[in-house]
Copies of this chain bind each other. A is one copy, B any other.
Amino acid sequence: MENSPRNTVRPYLITKKLVPENQETPIHFQNGDIVNEKLFFRRNHFHYPKFTSSFYLLPIEGFVYTPKVFSLQEIYSFPAKAIRLVLECSGNKRELFEPNVFGEQWGKGAMSQGIWKGVSLRSLLQYTGLLDTAKEIVFEGYDYGARSDSNQFHHFSRSLPIEKALDPDTILDYEYNHHPLPFKHGFPLRLIVPGWYAMASVKWIKKMIVIDQEFKGPFQAVDYVYYPNTENDHQKTLVTSIHVNSTIQSPLNMQTLNTGVYEINGIAWTGTGQITTVEISMDEGLTWHTCELVSSSEKYAWVRWKYIWDAHKKGEYTIKSKATDSFGNIQPLDPIWNRKGYGYNAIDSIKVKIE
């Protein structure tokens, strides 16, 4: 009876909001290198879009030599590239900011990882060319709706600077984990921008427009901006690269355990280079120990780490994890507070009690 369906135990997405659908991955219960499609976090700005995918065409227009419309058949016929990478919402861990920040109260699971496959954007742009004055490429999604700061409807649109758009790893994706890209994650085509927070990876791409100036759409110039001050917009900067980060997956926060030997484990990731070191502390950050990396440390992907802990002394412990990347970025002790709550990457911290 132990394995019968009636007592199967499995994790579920953690429901944050249903309209639009925002649900996070039960990240503490993901111990592999790819997340099943069903448990991939869902983050939407609007209702799911309606369009007829059988007539799908992708136009590239604007400051190009030759505007062109690609069919899916053409796109599928180009050489493809598969990349294992983390997509992380820039609001991941928002609920940990103090003072609290308004917006979706994401825990530690507004991130997932899997294998994305598609065609380099660069190879499509070879067909259209780019005018010398081209500065950015705007990606417009099929999803649209009202915003609280405007009477107009807006599509979800974001831009990339030309250099990032031409990075061979920036792809138009049509597969996830060797299956067709799921509708909820952007079928038939989703932009994947490795190393950047996931707002850049526009779903359900409707068209691409090359422009000769900075894009000023509200999902780029209003949202997804770091505002360090409460009362004014001084010193604002755009949200782009994923900050170096780590999460302890086991044990769980506020868990009670017997004395014994435990494997502490978790993940670490970064948008810049790759993870070089993960350290752990059992004493509020006074002393640190190096963790073993138990999966290969690759660009764009999370690395799994572990540390064997001999918990022979009863008491309460604060366990902290701290990751460093190959660009020398280290998780800070305190989060860098900002008004909209993006890019949380403070040293991860949990408490456990040994009885």
A183 to B252, CA, bound (A): 27
Interface residues on A, range: 35 or more
Q: Is the CB of B15 within 8 A of A15?
A: no
Given A50-B1, A254-B102, do A15 and B18 touch, yes or no (CB 8 Å)? Answer: no
- Please encode chain A, from 40 to 53, with 1 for each CB lying within 8 Å of some chain B CB and 0 for all others: 00000001101110
Q: Is the CB of B254 within 8 A of A148?
A: no
A257 proximity list for chain B (CB < 8 A) = 148
A15 proximity list for chain B (CB < 8 A) = 11-12, 14, 26, 28-29
A254 to B105, CA, bound (A): 7
A7 to B148, CA, bound (A): 24
- Please encode chain A, from 165 to 183, with 1 for each CB lying within 8 Å of some chain B CB and 0 for all others: 0000000000000000011
Q: Is the CB of B29 within 8 A of A9?
A: no
Q: Report if A213 contacts B (CB, 8 A).
A: no
Given A2-B50, A102-B353, A254-B100, do A9 and B26 touch, yes or no (CB 8 Å)? Answer: no
A9 to B17, CA, bound (A): 10
| SS class, residues of chain A in contact with chain B | loop
Q: Is the CB of A18 within 8 A of B9?
A: yes
Q: Is the CB of A254 within 8 A of B103?
A: yes
Q: Is the CB of A355 within 8 A of B17?
A: no
A52 proximity list for chain B (CB < 8 A) = 1
Q: Report if A261 contacts B (CB, 8 A).
A: no
- Nearest CB in chain B to that of A149: its residue: B355
Q: Is the CB of A103 within 8 A of B256?
A: yes
Q: Report if A23 contacts B (CB, 8 A).
A: yes
**Closest-CB distance, A251 to chain B (whole angstroms):** 10
Which of B182, B258, B353 contacts A6, CB < 8 Å? B182
A253 to B100, CA, bound (A): 11
Q: Report if A154 contacts B (CB, 8 A).
A: no
- Nearest CB in chain B to that of A42: its residue: B9
A102 proximity list for chain B (CB < 8 A) = 254-256, 316, 351-353
Q: Report if A13 contacts B (CB, 8 A).
A: yes
Q: Report if A19 contacts B (CB, 8 A).
A: yes
Given A6-B184, A252-B17, do A148 and B103 touch, yes or no (CB 8 Å)? Answer: no
Write the residues of chain A forming the contact surface with B, with a CB cutoff of 8 angstroms.
1-2, 6-7, 9-15, 17-19, 21, 23, 26, 28-29, 47-48, 50-52, 100-103, 105, 148-149, 182-184, 252-258, 316, 351-353, 355
Task: With A100-B351, A102-B255, A102-B352 given, name 7 new contacts (CB 8 A).
Answer: A6-B184, A9-B18, A9-B19, A12-B13, A12-B14, A105-B252, A148-B355
